[in-house]
Structure 1
Amino acid sequence: MYEIIAIDTPSLGDRSYLVHDGSTAIVIDPQRDIDRVLDLAEERGVHVAHVFETHIHNDYVSGGLALSGVTGAAYYVNGDDPVSFDREPVSDGDLIEVAPSLRVRVIATPGHTFTHLSYALEAGEEVVAVFTGGSLLFGSTGRPDLLGPDSTGVLARHQHASAHRLASDLPATAGVFPTHGFGSFCSASQSEGTESTIGAEKSANPALLMSEDEFVETLLAGLDAWPAYYAHMGSANASGPEAPDLSPPVLADAAELRRRIEAGEWVVDLRHRTAFASGHVAGSLNFGLDGSFATYLGWMIPWGTPVTLLGRTIEEVAEAQRELVRIGIDRPVAAATGDPGDWAGSEELHTYPQATFADLAGAAARAGVVVADVRRRLEWEEEHLAGAVHLPLHDLVARVAELPEGEVWVHCRSGYRASLAASVLARAGRRVVLVDDELPNADAAGLEVVRDVRLVA
């Protein structure tokens, strides 16, 4: 008997896995905060004896080396990966006995990276599962462009071939357990699926239904921007990251918060966008914990900028700190908890208005109103408000000055990204209105929406 347990990291759109037979466990693609894995192993009463990496990750810092060090587990990484730490090098066709009734077979599946591996789990004589990392995902594949434009076309063709290899070599009943594809920007597209098999992918996955040329053309046409912090993850993982320090940061008073803001550091308010708009420390930035906090903070921040966290409770600060270590932002320089009035000290809290698309319809004709759409390129091309200025969120920090003069009404699709943008604009001294509404409501409000009929047909 065996059990496969997914360890979800929804904020990054990834999954790690713990597999055990009641006494011995293996772990695939562990996240940086390995205490989750250790707690799960203790709960199940099993010992982690083997840790496997499908690839050198681009979207998070791995916990594999640290987990191996704590547990004494063998750490398996592709022998062709140029890492600076000791590991058990593996390659295509290797078979690892992990327990009396469980084996792992290594399958080379290049495409997401050149050295990507998948791991087939064999129970007895049967292949029961395959851990596909960033190769075959639910209804998609991992994106092939993260290593740069010179490699993208070649890797896209590798993805097609790797998907077909898995489909032909493994039984239809084998479960598919990817690392990416649950919101991660490492995925070429997203799926609502929560589980799958090789057989299910054969009937639905474009990589297995299209010719190589058709797949490559479709895949590349659907790729959009990826988070800037990805550029730092590969080197961090190749150098052998240590376990993170999750101890609480030092507490800062109002004077220190003001000093840090004036020094150009990022003082990040973790509250919901409604609370932030209603009153916040001037110059602070709003990255609410209710959305993809770490992804967008890591995407937008000038890398290396010191971060201070503001939360209502120490638990909120701890949650944010945990998310940040997963992308290599290891230690907030300070934190503050409680009420924003305490954070501001004697200074007056700043506010800005919130609105709906119906409000925007009434204001759009006024002189001096600028409508800013901060969604990504493909979203804008599919549909956008007539007359809006397109400035993607990930470019905003560097390009604020490009927005026309006037009162900026900023929107995205549902409000979260617009709230991040609104705080950046407010910090830059712009008069801002946060459109906290669902974009489909723009039609009902009478706003003119420009659509590309090829994309929405």
Structure 2
Amino acid sequence: MFLETVKSEGLAHLSYILGADGEAVVVDPRRDCEVYVEIARSRGARIVHILETHRNEDLVSGAPVLAKMTGATVHHGPNPEAPIAWAQTIRDGEAVEAGPLRLHAIETPGHTYDHMAYAIEDRDSPHGHVGVFTGDALFVGDVGRTDFYPDEAEKVAALLFDSLQKLLALGDQAIIYPAHGAGSVCGSGMADREFSTIGHERLNNPRLQLDRQTFVRAKTSEHHQYPPYFRAMERINIAGAADSGPAGTPAPCTAAAVAAHDGPVVDVRPVNAFQGAHWPGSLCLPVGMLSAFAGWYLEAEAEIVLVADDGGQAAEATRRLGRIGFDRVAGYFDGLVTATAGGQAFGHLPVVGAAEVARRRRRNAGDWTLLDVRDIDEWTEGHIPGAVHAYVGRLPDQADRLDPERRITTMCASGARATVAAGWLKANGFEDVDVFLGSMGAWRSRQGEVESGPGGG
């Protein structure tokens, strides 16, 4: 038997292919799904089943595309929000087989109503199942979010509690294979590793230490972000993606073509490169942060031009955008240095350190805003007195709270999200913007003065 994990960086999405004796099963495939066919071919196996643990909110499912490529049957749980024509409904207690493998379906609603887990049977052992694909119900160190049904918050939190008891009943020996790792928006407390067991989680996962009532209270008090593109993902995943998305390197653009482009220009280089020089009006969305923030700033049908270091970086950015439904990449530009040397105007983003931020606070002249763009939980745990809070992804909705005539310094935990935020502000009429380099980390190490609670957020 073989089992391989396919990880999609940026999304922290984990999918799996397992097989034996010439047949294989894929669990939660991503949209660019050729990788599963390649793995199966290298293992001398044919993909016969595709299992979905739930309706994905944060990425385009590759299940319908992979089914067309392989002829495999897609299985999806009951109670989806709309009929899924490209999948067969699998119910609690039913099983699929591939060679000697047998996977049992377990209805585990809570994260979504259609959520399923799939337990791997070990036919040679009397001690139960060897592992379980837990989807977004149980993670390493955390459990799934339950905020997709705000009008039924307590109900779905209680459903997840009951679903977790089903998973715990599989036995401490069972290895868990979740659909996400640390960094995913589907949970906030995941451990920075991708392997665990039911037994380890039973002893160490904080959410599994709670009784039912306390669990429901804890889950209904959580704060999770809900990027606008999630709604588009839900629609796409009900209808089914038609193809594996854009692939390869987009067409190169000239400086004149970028200047004439009537749409977003997205700089996918590292944040320090954007700070040094960038195309005027461009957004700072480094490749590693595209999956987290493109869905906040870009419209689904936008035609995008990328600013990249090279074609390889542009190709990777195009792939990652396609995984979250942004397919219209018109081209890329990698000649920023040459263009600026030739007289092309460019923007830059100044940075300041902790000493300068402290000086501005002491001066207190009323013409400066320190803008903390971290998540609300980070802000509540501790922030610089006098700072204003606006989550980086929500700037398009909250910018009217800010005075464009004032100098604005953006900050986060280290400076990366602050640069993303500053790039958006600069592209949207805020001229006097700089970035607190090192941000909260630098402040704590040099100043130490913070306060917790609501503050100025």
Q: Tell me if both proteins adopt one fold, taking TM over 0.5 as the criterion.
A: yes
Distance 2:272 2:197 in 1: 42
- Compute the displacement of 1:277 (Å): 1.2
Distance 2:22 2:335 in 1: 45
The change in CA–CA distance for 1:373 and 1:188 in structure 2 (over 3 A counts) is closer
Matched residue SS, 1:293? helix
- Cα deviations by residue, 1:174-198 (Å, 9 ceiling, x for unpaired): 1111102422111253223431111
Bigger mean CA offset, 179-188 vs 45-54: 179-188
Bigger mean CA offset, 404-413 vs 310-319: 404-413
Residue identity matched to 2:307: L
Tell me the residue number matched to 1:413. 413
Distance 1:222 1:210 in 2: 15
Residue identity matched to 2:396: V
Bigger mean CA offset, 76-85 vs 129-138: 76-85
- Cα deviations by residue, 1:135-192 (Å, 9 ceiling, x for unpaired): 121122110112x311322111111000011112x12101111102422111253223
Matched residue SS, 1:450? coil
Tell me the residue number matched to 1:293. 290
Tell me the residue number matched to 2:130. 128
Q: Is the 8 A contact 2:91 2:107 kept in 1?
A: yes
Tell me the residue number matched to 2:450. 449
The change in CA–CA distance for 1:447 and 1:387 in structure 2 (over 3 A counts) is farther
Distance 1:345 1:333 in 2: 24
- Cα deviations by residue, 1:182-225 (Å, 9 ceiling, x for unpaired): 22111253223431111112112344321111011112223232
What fraction of aligned residue pairs are identical, expressed as a percent? 31
Tell me the residue number matched to 2:437. 436
Q: Is the 8 A contact 1:5 1:18 kept in 2?
A: yes
Q: Is the 8 A contact 1:254 1:345 kept in 2?
A: no
Tell me the residue number matched to 2:217. 217
- Compute the displacement of 1:35 (Å): 1.9
Distance 2:448 2:361 in 1: 9
Distance 1:65 1:164 in 2: 31
Distance 1:447 1:433 in 2: 22
Tell me the residue number matched to 2:302. 305
Tell me the residue number matched to 2:186. 186
Distance 1:345 1:103 in 2: 64
- Compute the displacement of 1:333 (Å): 2.4
Residue identity matched to 1:360: V
Bigger mean CA offset, 186-195 vs 15-24: 186-195
| 1:391-410 paired onto structure 2 within 5 Å | 391-404=390-403, 405-410=405-410
Tell me, yes or no, if structure 1 residue 235 matches structure 2 residue 235: yes
Bigger mean CA offset, 378-387 vs 76-85: 76-85
Aligned residue among 137, 140, 144 for 1:138: 140
The change in CA–CA distance for 1:7 and 1:220 in structure 2 (over 3 A counts) is same
Tell me the residue number matched to 2:83. 83
Q: Is the 8 A contact 2:227 2:295 kept in 1?
A: yes
Tell me the residue number matched to 1:373. 372
Residue identity matched to 2:378: E
Matched residue SS, 2:374? coil
* TM-score, scaled to structure 2: 0.92
Bigger mean CA offset, 341-350 vs 215-224: 341-350
Tell me the residue number matched to 1:115. 114
Distance 2:430 2:123 in 1: 66
Tell me the residue number matched to 2:226. 226
Q: Is the 8 A contact 2:172 2:198 kept in 1?
A: yes
Matched residue SS, 1:140? coil
Residue identity matched to 2:334: T
- Cα deviations by residue, 1:249-293 (Å, 9 ceiling, x for unpaired): 333322221232xx4x2100111111111111111111112x322
Aligned residue among 265, 276, 280 for 1:267: 265
Distance 1:395 1:87 in 2: 35
Number of equivalences: 445
Q: Is the 8 A contact 1:249 1:331 kept in 2?
A: no
- Compute the displacement of 1:316 (Å): 0.5
Distance 1:231 1:406 in 2: 35
Bigger mean CA offset, 395-404 vs 59-68: 395-404
| 1:55-94 paired onto structure 2 within 5 Å | 55-81=54-80, 82-94=82-94
Distance 2:191 2:90 in 1: 31
Distance 1:112 1:80 in 2: 13
- Compute the displacement of 1:118 (Å): 0.5
Matched residue SS, 1:318? helix
Distance 2:201 2:50 in 1: 26
Tell me the residue number matched to 2:254. 253
- Cα deviations by residue, 1:214-242 (Å, 9 ceiling, x for unpaired): 01111222323232211211111110112
- Cα deviations by residue, 1:372-411 (Å, 9 ceiling, x for unpaired): 1111212111111111111211121233342133221111
Bigger mean CA offset, 434-443 vs 106-115: 434-443
Bigger mean CA offset, 229-238 vs 42-51: 42-51
- Compute the displacement of 1:343 (Å): 7.8
The change in CA–CA distance for 1:444 and 1:175 in structure 2 (over 3 A counts) is closer
Tell me the residue number matched to 1:44. 43
Tell me, yes or no, if structure 1 residue 330 matches structure 2 residue 327: yes
Q: Is the 8 A contact 2:267 2:283 kept in 1?
A: yes
Q: Is the 8 A contact 1:10 1:182 kept in 2?
A: no
Q: Is the 8 A contact 2:54 2:77 kept in 1?
A: yes
The change in CA–CA distance for 1:355 and 1:40 in structure 2 (over 3 A counts) is farther
Aligned residue among 281, 295, 307 for 1:283: 281
Listed as ranges, the gaps of 5+ residues in structure 1 are none
Q: Is the 8 A contact 1:50 1:76 kept in 2?
A: yes
- Cα deviations by residue, 1:111-152 (Å, 9 ceiling, x for unpaired): 111111100111315411100101121122110112x31132
Q: Is the 8 A contact 1:56 1:237 kept in 2?
A: yes
Q: Is the 8 A contact 2:302 2:328 kept in 1?
A: no
- Compute the displacement of 1:42 (Å): 2.7
Matched residue SS, 1:292? helix
Bigger mean CA offset, 339-348 vs 106-115: 339-348
Q: Is the 8 A contact 2:340 2:346 kept in 1?
A: no
